[in-house]
Structure 1
């Protein structure tokens, strides 16, 4: 398989700000401390009591009323609250002032899978039990997926292109790749890009359990998410949000911004194979990887770290590892941060892109939590037990979703 690079010069987009609200905590420091420690955040979830799978990875100590004001928070689904919180962090981290920026030149691109699932489920129950007169009219500004980006724009006075992209668990790279195109085209000078998901509802969890996607390790939730381990049995569902502030590298240098890392390549593809199972040949994944490398003008030997999709499911982990070995080789230090924070569905790729940025910035690869005995079919170098300091000039992050949608980003040192 050959993909010819269309570029003759790489287009770097600077990551000047990060915002993270995840099961690892709120803020960059809390997240990096947790994921580099190799600890798991999975725990029993009171909202799931009585279900076959009664545990998840939730954002701890998140108080939307204190952050946004009680009235505003009440009008928003949790997925919107998380997105706004992460976006505010990212803008502050970038040293930008929303009162003075040219909002018309600021875009927002967010990824999501299931929208305001909690609000929809709650109002459906109200309609069933009490009738139409008791359904909240605010449902129509809580549950639609577009409102995630809409609320971020309203909160931060961002008047440029505004959209939500949905490619299931690949939505984060899709959002970041789309943002990169907006910057390259000149449509925007700044884009807030990332993902948000808050779909830990009883119906959603029951459906994922029924399809066999979730770990059923109810006796030890903290050990349930174990990517690449021989004893893995499914993923742990999670919630959270991540937002990256993206600017053209030249513009970031001109304003003397701190650049954590660059987004230098993006590739996407579709398996065209099955609604939920990965193509065992890995052909679609390979196309996305090669496209991202071509876009970044890097060779497989240049990629020394990969933040893998690594879901902790039997099929995904083997297929992904085989593609890594076939396309990139056995030299990259591979990790899956889903062992620590679970699978954030439509926000997973954005959170993992942020963690890859931090790995490049800190020249350290986080370990894969709960990896005790690597599956012998997985013949790649998976980092486990403790973080690995190493020189990282170029890294990649993989995200694959139901529907066979694939997204890959290349992250480079500034």
Structure 2
């Protein structure tokens, strides 16, 4: 968390969790980035890092027709959308706008740019799921692979900090104090079907199940408890098998209900609780992806975590709860 530079950001927030010294141009170079917004730069940049890491490990990730991308988001870039609309109203005629800005005002721009930059010619999808977008994208990825639509999917989520997002959140909460500072970032995972030319890439985890449900009128506790119970039932596992619990815990009005539901599930066990929001703030659509990355990082550094189960949950205030159950590979690298 850092103090917001008021010379750069005209926002009501005093502090935010920003990606340090980030700009699309600094990360990706000058070519093709003159008008690129933050959320697109974050997504394209983290995809580049994932592909580069595979190549450095001697396990290059094939691109081309067999590789797709699924990206979770809230609305794309609120800053680009609102800026484009504002420009159209300020010019003498509505159509006198900078055409280079138009693609970034479309919700699926970031996913499309990832595919263009990195030669990903498989399915390309954007899922608008707010706080739960990372888990919803993971489930959509499983469906694409199960149906044979792709051999591998780069799956993740991205969210930017911007003046538009800051003011939207400010007016949305009204006089209520902020639950936590706003954050930003992007996380991306390579997801493959087991046994499909993956021997050179040791898996960090196995996805056992991903579930989601609506929560009506803020009844998060009941909806999430049912979602988790359904996941455990479908996988034939019990609460005593859960090694780590990773809640979203972002919005105060729902965080307590989320915690209550999870405590009820793992009561009497030694499950480890992992707090991501306390470190990274409200990362919006990237939040659930960061939760996955956090527990995988913990497991990868601990050989005793191999084969353990992690339960990741997310609550979006617009009416969705989601959970994922993964079996870690722990200490695989």
Q: Which residue of 2 aligns with 1:396?
A: 311
Q: How does 1:159-178 map to 2 (within 5 A)?
A: 159-178=121-140
Assess if the C-alpha contact under 8 Å between 1:76 and 1:142 holds in 2: yes
Evaluate the alpha carbon distance shift between residue 125 and residue 93 of structure 1 in structure 2; reply closer, same or farther with a 3 A threshold. same
Runs of 4 or more consecutive aligned structure 1 residues displaced over 4 Å after TM superposition: 47-50, 213-216, 389-392
- The reply to whether residue 262 of structure 1 matches residue 206 of structure 2 is yes
2:69 to 93, 99, 108: 108
| 8 Å contact kept, 1:303–1:396 | yes
The answer for the alignment partner of 1:201 in structure 2 is: 162
Please give the residue correspondences for 1:21-32 in structure 2 after superposition, counting only pairs within 5 Å.
none
Q: TM-score, normalised by structure 2?
A: 0.88
Tell me the distance in 1 between the aligned counterparts of 2:169 and 2:326: 32
Task: Report if aligned partners of 1:113, 1:169 keep a CA contact under 8 Å in 2.
Answer: yes
Structure 2 unpaired stretches of 5+: none
For 2:53 and 2:171, locate their aligned partners in 1 and report how far apart those are by CA, in whole Å. Answer: 41
Query: How far 1:84 moved relative to its partner?
Result: 0.7
TM-score normalised according to structure 1 size? 0.71
Secondary structure of 2:195's aligned partner: helix
Q: CA deviation at 1:67?
A: 3.1
- Give the superposition deviation at 1:133: 5.9
Counterpart-to-counterpart distance in 2, 1:328 and 1:213: 35
CA change 1:150–1:295 in 2 (3 A) is farther
Displacement after TM superposition at 1:249 (Å): 2.4
Find 1:90's aligned residue among 47, 50, 63. Answer: 50
Identify if the C-alpha distance between structure 1 residues 317 and 162 changes in structure 2 by more than 3 Å, giving closer, same or farther. same
- Contact 1:195-1:350 at 8 Å conserved across structures: yes
Aligned residue among 151, 155, 170 for 1:189: 151
User: Is the contact made by 2:43 and 2:157 (CA closer than 8 Å) also made in structure 1?
Assistant: yes
What residue number does 2:291 align with?
352
Q: Which has the bigger relative contact order, CA under 8 A and spacing at least 6?
A: 1
CA apart distance, 1:340: 0.7
> Is 2:115–2:121's contact at 8 Å kept on the other side of the alignment?
yes
Is 2:236 the partner of 1:300? no
1:409 equivalent to 2:324? Answer yes
1:73 and 2:33 matched: yes
Larger helix proportion of the pair: 2
- Kindly tell me the number of residue pairs found equivalent between the two proteins: 323
Of 209, 219, 223, which aligns to 1:279?
219
Cα distance in 1 for partners of 2:175, 2:243 equals 30
The equivalent of 1:329 in structure 2 is: 267
Structure 2 distance, partners of 1:296, 1:83, is: 32
Cα pair distance change 1:42/1:263, threshold 3 Å = farther
* Shift, 1:42, TM fit: 4.0
Distance 1:325 1:102, change over 3 A: closer
1:182-240 Cα deviation digits (max 9, x unpaired) = 22222211100000111x33343223223338985xxxxxxxxxxxxxxxx61211111
Is 2:114 the counterpart of 1:158?
no
SS of equivalent residue, structure 1 residue 91: helix
**Counterpart contact for 1:176–1:194, Cα < 8 Å:** yes
Contact kept, 8 Å, 2:63 with 2:118, in 1: the verdict is no
> Which of 4, 8, 17 in structure 2 is aligned with 1:57?
17
Q: CA deviation at 1:78?
A: 1.5
Cα distance in 2 for residues equivalent to 1:144 and 1:126: 15
